[in-house]
Amino acid sequence: MSTPSAAVRPFARVIARLAAAFATVFALAACTPAEPIEVGTDTVIVDVRTPGEYADGHLDGALNIDVQSATFDAAIAELDPTVSYVVYCRSGNRSAAAIDRMEAAGFTDLVNAGGLQEAADATGIEIVTGP
């Protein structure tokens, strides 16, 4: 195996520096506290992960409506579209997808709280285990 040419080495150093910079930025972003989410007495917390994920830990009082389930649309159709909802999952991807579907169904007051720990930090609601 040959060593990199002189022209390639500076490019490799730039790539290594960029990778280090991105790692620093992402590490700092992970340490940034979540924006507080105000939870009123009529706010509904929805965990859109699987039942197994929900049982392993969820926000106290959260409804579990699996966005990947074939019954998701029917389940949200039973909810009141006029109240506030805080939606979370593991990382924020499924909650974003759930919010898109809920908006399409007429819901208007929706907050994507991201992942479970982010949602707990932002709402101040305790993580509990079990069904």
Q: Which of 89, 99, 111, 125 is catalytic?
A: 89
Q: Is 114 left (phi over 0), alpha (psi -120 to 50) or beta?
A: left
89 carries an active-site annotation = yes
Amino acid code (one letter) for 97: A
* Residues 110/85, Cβ–Cβ less than 8 Å: yes
Q: Which two tokens stand for residue 66?
A: 């699996």
Quote the CA–CA distance of 73 and 76 in Å, as a whole number.
5
Specify burial of residue 66 (Cβ count, 10 A radius: 0-12, 13-18, 19+).
buried
Question: Known catalytic residues?
Answer: 89
